[in-house]
Amino acid sequence: MNMNKKIINLMILILFTMITGYIIITSKELAEIPELLRRTDRFCLSIAILLMTAYVIFNALIIQTIGKNISTQFTFRKSLFLAFVGQYYSLITPFASGGQPAQVYLMKSKYGVSYTKGTTLTIKKFIVFQVIISLYALTMFAMKYNLIFMKKREIIIFIMIGLFINILGCILIITLSFNDKVIKKIVDIIIGFLQKFRFFKKYNKEKVYRCIDDYVENIGDFKNNKWMMIKVFLLTFLQITCYFSITYFIYLSLGFNEATITDILAIQTVLYVVVSFIPTPGGIGASESGFYVLFSIFFSRDVLLYAMILWRIIVYYGVLLISGVVVFLDSISFKTKIKN
């Protein structure tokens, strides 16, 4: 990521953080937070924090599992570092687009893993994550359709768009796994249409074909190593479940117990798929608004703001701070080595 993009992303991040902070500070519910802090069950809140920790650890285990088939460099410690780097750059870039390139660059510069092999690792990881998140969202939506439709009918169109985008991605991944010729024909049709417009006249479909060929090679290698594929799918499922379960333990920590864990998982999944196509760094602004709207189903109005703050501190700001410190310390260590 070049310096100009870093500055722009940080400015957007700071702007949305300030807007969110202003909304929170000017809210009438803010006065209740000191009392809510005293009432919060520390044990359940600790479990929520541990689940976020487990999410990062599972991320590292996934990197290590795939990486061991590429290079002996992928110890758990190094994989955990790459997980933190990926988290940091994903949280400060739109659509979480900065995490994978940063990981590929560091794999090359720190561990001597070629860009091709590094890209292979991130592609495999992305494939599994996209498939699991799509199946997770579809399953939860099917299980809790009545709850979602009855309680939040007014935003059902946004939910359907988010589900459509994720499921379409999953279908493309599966189609590519078995027949890349179909995808290339679709690409021909799309590019043929776009080239009717002046702006797309020089668009080179061969570059897209190369990306498809690289993808097919990666997925083919993945399918041939079934044990690794099963292990990565399982780790990814556990990783996503940990992340989506955090809100449930925040819910319990505030003394609520009427909703089941599947109720919370369903709404959290819906929130994820809705926010995932909104291009703000880390979904900032959209995540807070989405939580406030969707989780009003379960949290009473007097604690909803507080619950949202706890959730964002655990899943976003806390992780951003810790991963930022890791990245900062590594950059200082790297500069010191160069000077010596």
Q: What is the reported pLDDT for 72? A: 78
Burial of 1 (0-12, 13-18, 19+ CB in 10 A): middle
Query: What b/e readout covers 66-97, taking b as 16+ CB neighbours within 10 angstroms?
Result: bbeebbeebeeebbbbbbbbbbbbbbbbbebe
Cα→Cα distances 41→37, 45, 54, 202, 253, Å = 9, 6, 20, 60, 4
Cα→Cα distances 220→12, 210, 214, 227, 336, Å = 39, 15, 10, 14, 42
The packing angle between helices 261-275 and 115-143, to 10°, is: 130
Structure tokens belonging to residue 274:
């809705």
**Nearby residues of 179 by Cβ (< 8 Å), 6 or more positions away:** none
Structure tokens belonging to residue 20:
């969110």
Going residue by residue through the chain (340 aa), what tens digit of pLDDT does each one get?
A: 555 666 666 676 677 667 666 666 666 666 677 888 889 999 999 999 999 999 999 999 999 999 988 887 789 999 999 999 999 999 988 877 889 999 999 998 888 888 878 888 888 898 899 889 989 988 998 898 888 888 887 788 888 888 888 888 888 777 766 666 776 777 777 777 766 666 555 666 677 777 777 767 766 777 778 889 899 999 999 999 999 999 999 999 999 999 999 999 999 998 998 888 787 777 888 898 899 889 999 999 889 999 999 999 999 999 999 999 999 998 888 777 766 6
Structure tokens belonging to residue 4:
């100009």
Structure tokens belonging to residue 55:
């999410």
Residue with tokens 């990197």: 63
**Residue 304 and residue 32: Cα distance in Å, rounded?**
11
**Closest alpha carbon to 16 in 317, 264, 325:** 317
- Whole-model pTM: value is 0.85
**Closest alpha carbon to 53 in 246, 275, 237:** 246
Contact 42, 257 (CB under 8 A): no
Extract long-range pairs of 288-297: CB within 8 Å, 24+ residues apart: 288/20, 288/23, 288/312, 293/152, 293/155, 294/152, 294/155, 294/267, 294/270, 295/247, 295/267, 295/271, 297/147, 297/151, 297/152, 297/259, 297/267
Contact 128, 232 (CB under 8 A): yes
Q: What is the reported pLDDT for 237? A: 97
- Tally of CB atoms within 10 A around 171: 11
**Nearby residues of 194 by Cβ (< 8 Å), 6 or more positions away:** 200, 203
Q: What is the reported pLDDT for 8? A: 66
SS3 96: helix
Residue 329 per-residue DSSP state = H
Q: What is the reported pLDDT for 1? A: 52
